Amino acid sequence: MNLKTTYLGLDLKNPIVPSASPLSQRLDHMKQLEDAGASAIVMFSLFEEQIRAEAESLEDMLSMGTDSFAESLEFFPRASEYSVGPDAYLNLISDASASLDIPIIGSLNGVTPTGWIDYARNIQEAGAQALELNVYHVATDLNESSVQVEQRYVDILKAVKASVDIPVAIKLSPYFSSMANMSKRLVEAGCDGLVLFNRFYQPDYDLESLQVTADLNLSTSHEIRLPLLWLAVLKNRLNTSLAASTGVETHVEVLKYLMAGADVTMTASSLITKGPGHVRSLIDGLTEWMDEHEYVSVEQLKGSMSQSAVADPSTFERANYIKILEKNKAEYTLTG
C-alpha cells in the first residue's frame, strides 16, 4: 500500500498531519505524534500580537482585554498553556527539527502586512521546512470593503513570500464572497498551498452572568462538508497544494477529503480528545479501507471525486441545491 503524498513540495509518507494545536507545544508530544505515524507537524501559531508585545508576558496581553486581542483570545482557551514567547517558539522549532525525522511546518498568525512578518525568516532559519500563514481577520470595520479585505490577504502573503525560500501555505476562512477567485488570487500571488479551512470561533452569551463567553468547542465530523465542497471545486483547477482542516475524527473523513482533492488531511480536535496515538488509528483505518476496496495508493484516491472527476459536476453547484430542495419538499411537507 503506497500512502505517500506530496504537500507544499514535501514528500510525505502518508497524508495524516496534526494541525496547529497545543499538541505541538511540547517536544515529547511531537515525538509521540511522529511515533504514531504523523507525516509532518504544523506548529501552533506565533501571533502578530505576541511578536508586537515581545517584552510583555502573554498573560499581561490577555488581561488587557482590548479588542485588538480578540482573535488571539479565541485561540487561547487556556492562556497559560500557550505562554511561549517568540524566542521560545523559535527554539522549539529548532529542537523539533533537529530531533524529529518528519518536517516541521511553522505557523504565523496575523492580520497586517507589517514588521512581525520578519519572523517568517526566523522560523525558516530555525529549521521549519514550510510555513503556514493564518490570517484570522474578523472584518468588523464598516468602512473596510471586501476588496480591501481580500487585498489584505494578498499583501500579507506577498510580504511573507518575499522574506522566505521555504514553501508557504495560507489557512483561510470560508467567508469570502468568491472563494474560488480569492483562492486563484492567492495562488497567483505565490502561495504554495491552501489550508481549507480555519475554524471560526464565535462568541456566545451566558444568560445568567450576562457575559460574552469565548469557549472553544472541538469539532465533529459533521463539519467536513464545507471544506469538502471547496476542495472538490478547486482540485485540478489551481496549481497549488490543498490541505483539508476541520472535522477529521476517523479514517472516513480522511478518505472523503482525499477523494475531494486534499493532498493532506489535518486534524487537531481528534488528537486533543483521543491523544497523539490516534494518528495510528487514522492510518490503519485508511489502509484497511483501501485494501478492502482495492486501492493501491493515496495518489489514486486523491481528487477521484472532485468536481472535475465526477460524472455530474452540477452536484456541487446551484442545480443540485434546487434538486435537493425539490426532493425534500415531499418528505418534509406536514400532513393533516
Query: Using CB under 6 A as the criterion, which residues of the chain lie in contact with ligand FMN when the complex forms?
Result: 19-22, 44-45, 75, 77, 107, 109, 134, 171, 198-199, 216, 218-219, 245-248, 267-269, 272
Minimum CB distance to ligand FMN, residue 171 (Å): 5
Minimum CB distance to ligand FMN, residue 27 (Å): 17
Minimum CB distance to ligand FMN, residue 234 (Å): 18
Minimum CB distance to ligand FMN, residue 18 (Å): 8
- Of residues 134 and 240, the one with the C-beta less far from ligand FMN: 134
Q: Report d(CA 213, CA 233) in Å as an integer.
A: 35
Minimum CB distance to ligand FMN, residue 267 (Å): 4
CB 41, CB 47: distance < 8 Å: no
Q: 3-state DSSP helix/strand/coil percent for the chain, to nearest 5?
A: 50, 15, 40
Query: Is the dihedral angle over the CA atoms 81, 118, 164, 151 positive or is it negative?
Result: positive
Minimum CB distance to ligand FMN, residue 330 (Å): 34
Spacing of C-alpha 65 from chain mean position: 26
- Of residues 241 and 267, the one with the C-beta less far from ligand FMN: 267
CB 241, CB 223: distance < 8 Å: no
**Residue 204 grid coordinates:** 456566545
- Of residues 110 and 127, the one with the C-beta less far from ligand FMN: 110
**Residues 6+ positions from 97 with CB-CB distance below 8 Å:** 104, 126, 127, 128, 129
Element (H, E) at 195: strand 193-196
- Of residues 10 and 23, the one with the C-beta less far from ligand FMN: 23
Spacing of C-alpha 204 from chain mean position: 23
- Of residues 44 and 230, the one with the C-beta less far from ligand FMN: 44
SS3 263: coil
- Of residues 3 and 20, the one with the C-beta less far from ligand FMN: 20
